[in-house]
């Protein structure tokens, strides 16, 4: 007797797998992205970098590990703010993420020249 299979079963299995994957891979949370961003100055590549390479290494660390669109959008606009507003914005976003400290403006954005 030949074994009969339901041809719809593979589709249902694939659909279930995709739903499970979507639930597991919702992306990086705001809090996790801010935690990574605020700790970027403590990454091994940054700690061992020369003073001249430090900001570049911080930027590379953030680019490689932060994927939350809201945090990336805010971070991209941060350098356009005046220094006092930059400090306030960093403090506000860190607090929102439940963090007590975060990188200073000199590490988050390139230094301004006059």
Instruction: For the chain, give the DSSP string.
Output: -PPP--TTHHHHHHHHHHHHHHHH-----HHHHHHHHHTGGGSHHHHTS-TTTHHHHHHHHHHHH---HHHHHHHHHHTTS-HHHHHHHHHHHHHHTT-S----HHHHSPPP--
Residue 95: pLDDT over 90: yes
Q: For 6-28, what is the mean pLDDT?
A: 49
The ranges assigned to domains in the chain are 29-108
> Taking the complete model, does pTM exceed 0.85, yes or no?
no
Query: Which is more confident, 2 or 69?
Result: 69
Task: Read off the pLDDT band of 55 (50, 70, 90).
Answer: confident
Q: For 96-102, what is the mean pLDDT?
A: 93
């Amino acid at each position: 007797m030949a074994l009969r299979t339901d041809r719809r079963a593979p589709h249902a299995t694939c659909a279930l797998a995709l739903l499970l994957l979507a639930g597991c891979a919702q992306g990086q949370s705001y809090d996790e992205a801010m935690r990574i961003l605020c700790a970027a100055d403590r990454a091994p590549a940054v700690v061992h970098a020369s003073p001249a390479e430090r900001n570049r290494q911080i930027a590379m660390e953030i680019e490689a590990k932060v994927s939350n669109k809201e945090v990336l959008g805010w971070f991209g606009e941060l350098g356009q703010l005046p220094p006092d507003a930059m400090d306030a914005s960093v403090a506000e976003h860190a607090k929102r993420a439940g963090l007590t400290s975060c990188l200073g403006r000199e590490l988050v954005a390139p230094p301004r020249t006059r």
